[in-house]
């Protein structure tokens, strides 16, 4: 058996340091579980491993580069813009650490579409286990299953749950709601067919990152609205639940709400600002409104327990925390977890960032808690 500790690009002791230093802060009525940078206690610092991956011009010029980046990403036709997004977002950045997880592939018929899925099973897993259903991000026009493959393998390995990942259709080739229809159709398929791969279709945790978090939250709403009750939990990583960026009593965007240490402010403000500007592109791709487009403004009562995880310097941090507050006000059990020193998409850095591995442990613990499962050995 390979020693996976040798594959990590950091000392495994850093993962333990995160757990030892984690603490709770209460902000605007919400308890937030703060995961610190494990080897730097300064407030407002970017994790040095994350910072090292930021291009030097961004570190120096900061958000002054945002207009150029917006031009590069959005110029030309919708198809050419999507192609550029895919070159950036479709890179695999995780290292393969999970062992003993089988992955099978099949195509599911949903409506008129054949949708590819991947099924994950941990070796030795008992039959009739709960199922996590994962939806990748990428701004609705990019992203792919390979990018989050290690996330899904980690969750199956750590939790013992069966897993399913969906390869939904992307815009602009397939305009919205094709993505939502695919994701919800696969959810229905899981509920009806999970027994075929050792899962329990009545105990599903729907999960997703970024745009995938939007689709996951919307699918959970529709499952509730149609009275199916298959979704028993949600795990949302830096979700885009308010793609139009509309403000209300819970959500107001301002860079002043981010504590950025001098020396890191240029890079942090760039990442936050460029993600904020990207939301206008997302709402254009979605081409509409309503609770399944903007779950943030939907009826939240009766939704299943929700875990929300995000980085300190992510534009979607404020949105995630506002959504957690709204869920709590609606009587939905919610746990908000903030990872200090990081920005968007950090969960894709398994083996590179210790916080990514900790994030997988958090979700697996949430799954075992919601479904009352024993610790995976």
Q: What percent helix, strand, coil does the chain show, rounded to 5?
A: 40, 20, 40
Residue 151 near residue 220 (C-beta atoms within 8 A): no
Smallest CA-to-CA distance from 120 within 97, 90, 100 is with: 100
Smallest CA-to-CA distance from 22 within 11, 38, 44 is with: 38
DSSP 97-118: ---SEEEEEEEEEETTEEEEEE
11 catalytic? Reply is no
294 catalytic? Reply is no
- Cα dist. 61→54, 66, 266, 369 in Å? 12, 10, 6, 45
Smallest CA-to-CA distance from 339 within 50, 11, 10 is with: 50
Residue 363 near residue 235 (C-beta atoms within 8 A): yes
328 catalytic? Reply is no
Dist CA 272 CA 313 (whole Å): 6
Positive/negative CA dihedral, 207, 208, 214, 219: negative
Among residues 210, 320, 328, 343, the one annotated as catalytic is 210
Count of alpha carbons within 13 Å of 140, Cβ hemisphere only?
30
Residue 352 near residue 95 (C-beta atoms within 8 A): yes
Count of alpha carbons within 13 Å of 291, Cβ hemisphere only?
13
Among residues 314, 328, 343, 358, the one annotated as catalytic is 314
Smallest CA-to-CA distance from 231 within 222, 218, 216, 220 is with: 220
* DSSP 3-state of 209: strand
**Catalytic residues, which ones?**
210, 314, 344
């Amino acid at each position: 058996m390979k020693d996976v500790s040798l594959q990590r690009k950091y000392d495994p002791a850093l993962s333990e340091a995160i757990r030892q230093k984690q603490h709770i802060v209460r902000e605007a009525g919400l308890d937030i579980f703060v995961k610190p940078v494990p080897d730097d206690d300064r407030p407002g610092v970017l994790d040095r491993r994350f910072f090292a991956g930021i291009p030097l011009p961004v570190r120096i010029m900061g958000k002054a580069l945002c207009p150029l980046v917006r031009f590069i990403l959005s110029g030309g036709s919708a198809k050419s813009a999507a192609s550029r997004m895919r070159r950036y977002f479709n890179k695999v950045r995780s290292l393969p650490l999970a062992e003993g997880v089988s992955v099978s592939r099949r195509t599911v018929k949903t409506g008129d579409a054949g949708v590819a899925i991947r099924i994950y099973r941990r070796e030795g897993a008992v039959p009739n286990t709960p199922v996590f259903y994962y939806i990748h991000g990428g701004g609705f026009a990019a992203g792919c299953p390979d990018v989050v493959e290690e996330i899904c393998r980690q969750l199956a390995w750590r939790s013992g749950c069966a897993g399913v990942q969906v390869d939904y259709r992307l815009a602009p080739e397939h305009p919205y709601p094709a993505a939502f229809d695919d994701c919800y159709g696969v959810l229905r398929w899981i509920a009806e067919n999970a027994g075929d791969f050792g899962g329990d279709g009545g105990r599903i945790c729907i999960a997703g990152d970024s745009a995938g978090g939007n689709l996951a939250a919307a699918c959970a709403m529709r499952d509730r609205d149609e009275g199916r009750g298959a979704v028993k939990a949600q795990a949302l990583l830096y979700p885009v639940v308010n793609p139009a960026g509309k403000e209300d009593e819970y959500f107001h965007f301002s860079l002043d709400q981010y504590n950025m240490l001098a020396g890191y402010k240029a890079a942090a403000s760039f990442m936050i600002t460029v993600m904020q500007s990207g939301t206008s592109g997302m709402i254009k791709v979605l081409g509409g409104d309503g609770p399944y487009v903007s779950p943030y403004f939907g009826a939240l009562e009766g939704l299943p327990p929700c875990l929300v995880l995000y980085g300190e310097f992510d534009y979607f941090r404020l949105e995630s925390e506002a959504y957690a507050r709204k869920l709590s006000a609606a009587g939905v059990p919610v746990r908000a977890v903030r990872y200090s020193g990081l920005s968007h998409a950090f969960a894709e850095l398994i083996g590179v960032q210790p916080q990514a591995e900790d994030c997988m442990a958090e979700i697996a613990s949430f799954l075992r808690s919601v479904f009352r499962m024993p610790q995976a050995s």
